[in-house]
Structure 1
Amino acid sequence: MEKIVLGADIGGSHITAALIDLDKKNEITKTRCRASLNTNAPVEEIIDAWATIIENTMNKHAGRPAWISIAMPGPMDYKNGICMIKDQGKYGALYNVNIKEKLAQRLDFSSDAISFRNDAVCFLQGEIFSGSLKGMDKAIGLTLGTGLGTAYIKNGEAYDADLWKMPFMKGIAEDYISTRWFVNRFEELAEVKIKDVKDLVDNHHNSPYFRSIFTEFSMNLAKFIYKFVRKKMPLAAVIGGNIVQAEAYFLDDTRKYLAQMMGYSFPVKRSVLGEEAALIGAGSSL
């Protein structure tokens, strides 16, 4: 089992886990498990929910993995496994908690064999290895969901760009490029509260504000990518995360607006690996 690790992706609303074959650097079939999370729950409830999915994944294959590698949004002390998320509407109970130690205790697993990495970094690492940007050595990645994740590739290795808090328009980037923006902006325009972008697409397609909100988002995203490109000078970008499920309503416009700003057509690709990107990126980057 020394060539098999467990990769997990913990987001703002879910956890997904699968066993990864390090020799092949791909997901072992029929080992993936996923569950929704109450991210405002107490510490022990959150840790137990994570541990349950990890245990279910382990039980789908003979033996026990040598390592557990977890993709997790920041801010966080990744080396020591201490969560630093606060005032983001998620995981408030985990602030300043050593989640690595707590998870190790709950799983009866060595804390030395559990690692945390930034989720956007894992996403981009996976896409570079076997996804939309396979083999590329100079690229950027964005994960669009409950928060905004950003990463860049340098010499074949992915790093956290940490641009979610970059000053942007009248606030920070994540204020305008996240599920939160869609929820707040649609309520402002339509006086209707939505749960997330999926809710918007599924249940409010006929709203007179549906087209305009995606047009506005496309412009926001293009402006942000333009600033990101100017910082890192990549050859291409890849986009993932839950909001990408609605790509039909914003991605072409984003490319168009970005081309107008850049003066040429810059490659902005959608993730081909989806959730698998972060799992493979986490597992294969040990």
Structure 2
Amino acid sequence: MENPLVLGVDIGGSHITAGLINLGERKIISTSIKYKEINPHEKAEVIINAWCQVIEEAYAGWNVREKRIGLALPGPFDYENGICLIKEQNKFQSLYLMNIRDEFVRRLNVKLYNIKFVNDAEAFLRGELFAHPPGEQSVLGITLGTGLGSALCLKGEVSDADLWNTPFLDGIAEEYLGGGWLITRYHQLTGVRLPGVKELSARVNSDQKAKQVFGEFGHNLARFIDSQINMHRLDQVVIGGKISHAFDHFSKELTANLLHREEMVLIRVSELKENAALLGAATEEFDRKLNRQEL
């Protein structure tokens, strides 16, 4: 049987990445990967058109018998029916209550049942653990970007942990562990508002205030992880998302604030990076069909 291709798509708060997955070999076809930055405050038509453009570019040049697409998106989202429920998270407000699956069916010439949605953090952890099987370990996966994503692997089962709105410090976890906190905190200390975390990261070696902000972020992240270790008896924590690229800037504070623990808990950065979500989104549902030879 010919190895089927499934398109894995990772939609974040400010970007979309798409790439074809060879399910038989469970490998990402690197030459098919396409990326585009997205303004999450645009009108619905602009956002959907940009998503469809990247998906079509990823398929370009590949002769597939039938398009199959697995998409990883942030919540809240009705993953079974494909309806966006994001309303008050400073992104995708224009997509609220829109049926994204129907839009893709109409615009991309793909069958309804060949479009699957999964939580982005869950897809990230599924993809990462495929590359590094955890055995019997309990694993927390967190994605740090414009918001906070989270997933748990307990007794071999991966599920969305939905920790973004967990009570934390003087608010909820996402308010302290997303990119917005880093930018706002730097502005509080300096009066300068940077466009993003990438620009803040570039200042660390020459700007003491930038270094301080990442240190405080690492301290906050340690407190959050510590609470989850206590709750789930974790063996491992895997960190992904755009902010993980700046891990060296906050890892010292993170690890220092976890040294009090008697048990050893592995804290590591994703090796697959953004590709983990592509792999997890494409394989979660369609791989089950492959095993039943339904593709």
Shorter-chain TM band: over 0.9
Check 1:221–1:242 CA distance in 2 against 1; reply closer, same or farther (3 A cut): same
Structure 1 residue 149: Cα displacement: 0.4
Q: Aligned residue for 1:273?
A: 272
Distance change in 2, residues 1:28/1:65 (3 Å): farther
**Is 1:235 aligned to residue 231 of structure 2?**
no
Of 154-163 and 60-69, more deviation after overlay is shown by 60-69
Matched residue, 2:149: 149
**What residue in structure 1 maps to residue 55 of structure 2?**
54
Question: Who is 2:292 aligned against?
Answer: none
| CA–CA distance in structure 2, aligned partners of residues 245 and 154 of structure 1 | 26
Give the CA deviation at 1:241: 0.5
List aligned pairs for 1:57-72, cutoff 5 A: 57-72=58-73
1:263 match: 262
With 141-150 and 82-91 compared, the bigger mean Cα shift is at: 82-91
Percent identity over paired residues: 39
5 Å matches for 1:179-218? 179-203=179-203, 205-218=205-218
Unaligned runs of 5+ in 1: none
- 1:148 Cα offset (Å): 0.2
For normalisation by structure 2, the TM-score amounts to 0.92
SS of the residue aligned with 1:87?
A: coil
Letter in 1 for 2:206: N
Deviations 1:126-175 (A, max 9, x none): 111014x5556421100000000010013323100000000000000000
Please give the residue correspondences for 1:1-286 in structure 2 after superposition, counting only pairs within 5 Å: 3-131=4-132, 135=135, 137-203=137-203, 205-260=205-260, 262-286=261-285
The amino acid across from 2:123 in the alignment is: C
Contact 1:258 1:266 in 2 (8 A): no
Q: Distance in 2 between matches of 1:213 and 1:63?
A: 48
Q: Which amino acid aligns with 1:154?
A: L
Cα offsets for 1:63-89 (capped at 9, x unmatched): 255420000000111101111111211
Which one is further off, 186-195 or 200-209? 200-209
Displacement of 1:259 in angstroms is 2.2
Unmatched runs of 5 consecutive residues or more in structure 2: 286-295
Deviation track 1:175-202 (CA, whole Å, cap 9, x = no partner) reads 0001010011111111100112111022
Contact 1:5 1:65 in 2 (8 A): no
- Cα distance, 1:42 vs structure 2: 1.0
CA contact under 8 A between 2:238 and 2:268: conserved in structure 1? yes
